[in-house]
Amino acid sequence: MSEIKVLLADDHAIVMEGLEVILSSDEQVQVVGTAANGEEVLAFVAANEVDMVILDINMPVMDGITCARKLKKKYPALKIIILTMFAQKSFVDEILKIGIDGCLLKNNTGKELIGAINRVMSGQPYYDRLREFKSDEEIKQHKLSAREIDVIRLMAEGLTSTEIGEKLFISDLTVQTHRRNLMRKLDMNKGVQVVQYAKENGLI
């Protein structure tokens, strides 16, 4: 069996590096390139041989959904797996409409990603964790406060808890409490997941 040529697209370098490490452990997968946004993906696919594109949903310049739509229109045989930080059912509806081959939560990548690649390349879709995806109504029920949104906005700028406290004129301890409450409300365990959620849902 020939190597599966994969293009990775994510605007977070640390995520990209992690995915490359995971995929390099499989002899059948070859990472032929990386991209930080949808426009870079389109340019790379136009100039190189690619079997599959693994796309993050939230990227600057051109997001993953828009990019996938353009790719499927121009290269219908190209396989696409979407990665998302937050499981939202409305994403799934759009993904299925476009004809994307698979969807994984970022916190489920690893061995599961290798399995997803192999299944998709065999002609079968990969949507094994749809039950984990939340409806828009469930998302609304999180009811984040204005102050919590302020904290997320500053987290997205890369500020520390101390720096956020100085900006908002609150204590470091209060900022840390807001962070814990956000992760509890959203059922997440990392600040980067909270920020990604806020971006994907138009909160910041």
pLDDT for 71 beyond 70: yes
Report the run of H or E that residue 53 belongs to, with start and end.
Answer: strand 52-56
Of 58 and 52, the one with more pLDDT: 52
In CATH, what number is assigned to the domain containing residue 76? 3.40.50.2300
Q: What is the pTM of this model?
A: 0.66
Please check whether residue 61 lies inside any domain of the structure: yes
Question: Same domain for 31 and 86?
Answer: yes
pLDDT category of residue 119 using cuts at 50, 70 and 90 = very high
Q: Which of 6-20, 150-164, 188-202 has the lowest mean pLDDT?
A: 188-202
Question: Using CA atoms, how far apart are residues 63 and 118, in angstroms rounded to an integer?
Answer: 25
* Domain end position, chosen among 132, 161, 184: 132
My answer on whether 123 and 75 are in the same domain is yes
Residue 150 pLDDT greater than 60, yes or no: yes
Question: Would 137 be classed as within a structural domain?
Answer: no
pLDDT of amino acid 83: 86
Q: How crowded is residue 96: how many other Cβ atoms within 10 Å of its Cβ?
A: 13
Q: Measure the CA–CA gap between 35 and 201, rounded to whole angstroms.
A: 23
| Mean pLDDT computed over 111-130 | 85
- Supply the DSSP string of 94-138, one letter for each residue: HHHHHT-SEEEEGGG-SHHHHHHHHHHHTT--B-TTGGGPBPHHH
